[in-house]
Amino acid sequence: MSKAAYASIAGVIAGNDTRQFNVTGTFIRCFAASHTDFLIRIDDDPVQFFDQGVGIEMAEGERFTKIEVVNKSSTDLSIELGYGAGQVSDNRLSLVGGALPVEQRVLAAVEASETIAATSDGTIIAADPERYRGHLTNHGAGAVHVRTTAGGSLGRPVEPGETFEFRTQAALYVHNPNAFGCIVTLLTERFA
50 and 116 fall within a common domain = no
Return all residues near 77 (Cβ < 8 A) that are at least 6 apart: 12, 13, 15, 33, 34, 35, 37, 38, 69, 71
CA separation for the pair 169, 171 (Å, rounded): 7
In a domain, 101, yes or no: no
How many structural domains comprise the chain?
2
Containing H/E element for 110?
A: strand 107-116
How many CA atoms within 13 Å lie on the side-chain side of 161?
0
pTM of the model: 0.47
In a domain, 61, yes or no: yes
For the domain that residue 124 is a member of, what is the CATH number?
Answer: 2.60.120.770
Domain range holding 120? 107-191
Between 180 and 107, the higher pLDDT residue: 180
pLDDT tens-digit series, residues 35-53 = 888 999 999 998 888 888 8
pLDDT tens-digit series, residues 102-141 = 666 667 777 888 888 998 888 888 888 888 888 899 999 9
CA separation for the pair 108, 57 (Å, rounded): 38
Q: Under a CB-based contact definition with an 8 Å cutoff, are residues 111 and 187 in contact?
A: yes
Q: Under a CB-based contact definition with an 8 Å cutoff, are residues 132 and 167 in contact?
A: yes
For the domain that residue 70 is a member of, what is the CATH number?
Answer: 2.60.120.10
In this prediction, residue 42 carries a pLDDT of: 95
